[in-house]
Chains A and B, each alone.
Chain A
Amino acid sequence: DAKTTQPPSMDCAEGRAANLPCNHSTISGNEYVYWYRQIHSQGPQYIIHGLKNNETNEMASLIITEDRKSSTLILPHATLRDTAVYYCIVRGLNTGNQFYFGTGTSLTVIP
């Protein structure tokens, strides 16, 4: 079962940074935080994941708080193609190493 809480929807102006929050207050020490996104009519797409440290790749940055109870996905310069549902997932031994998706955050990038 999903162990994360995300706002159901957010808007972001094109060209601005999109900051998507996720609460995972019951996360265990061996559990990773993953982010996926799903554009309409497509399968989910991997974005980034991390354990303790902040992570950055060509798509986004992941900021994990020191207590690991929450994280933020940052899309530095949102484009219209970033409009999608974003899922924050906690995965580890306590989840049977399975990926359990919640209902995510529907991000709309506004021109």
Chain B
Amino acid sequence: DTGVSQDPRHKITKRGQNVTFRCDPISEHNRLYWYRQTLGQGPEFLTYFQNEAQLEKSRLLSDRFSAERPKGSFSTLEIQRTEQGDSAMYLCASSFGGGNEKLFFGSGTQLSVL
């Protein structure tokens, strides 16, 4: 399978714990995006990378959230001191970029904070 893969698919954690998610994009894609989606809502943009550079962060991304893409390939999204409001589906997408950009999404990581 050469699509976007995310790990884990599900994560249950207790409030206050740290969690880390991984995203492996389509190999030749230079852009990588993170979105968050809560029940009944569309995906909300969090941040994106062009190669290893993090070019934009949404104001939704609090200081407890950090994302990295160290070698311009896979990416990690870490949430420190999780809160119940962090419970959501975290989606990763990748693309070639450009004016006719198309995002290809993974299946997401469902986070439940108890």
Contact = CB atoms under 8 A, between A and B. Distances in A.
B57 to A, nearest CB: 11
Counting contact residues on chain B (CB < 8 A from A), the size range is 20 to 34
Interface in B48-73: 48, 56
Interface stretch (A10-18, A71-79, A92-100): A92-100
B56 A45 contact: no
Contact of B108 (A2, A36, A43, A102): A43
Interface in A66-111: 85, 87, 91, 96-104
Interface string B69-86: 000000000000000000
A21 interface: no
B47 to A, nearest CB: 10
Contact of A46 (B33, B45, B103): B103
Interface of A: 2, 32, 36, 41-46, 49, 85, 87, 91, 96-104
16 contacts: A32-B99, A36-B103, A42-B107, A42-B108, A43-B93, A43-B105, A44-B43, A44-B105, A46-B103, A49-B100, A85-B42, A97-B101, A98-B45, A99-B33, A101-B42, A103-B40
Interface of B: 4, 33, 35, 40-45, 48, 56, 91, 93, 99-108
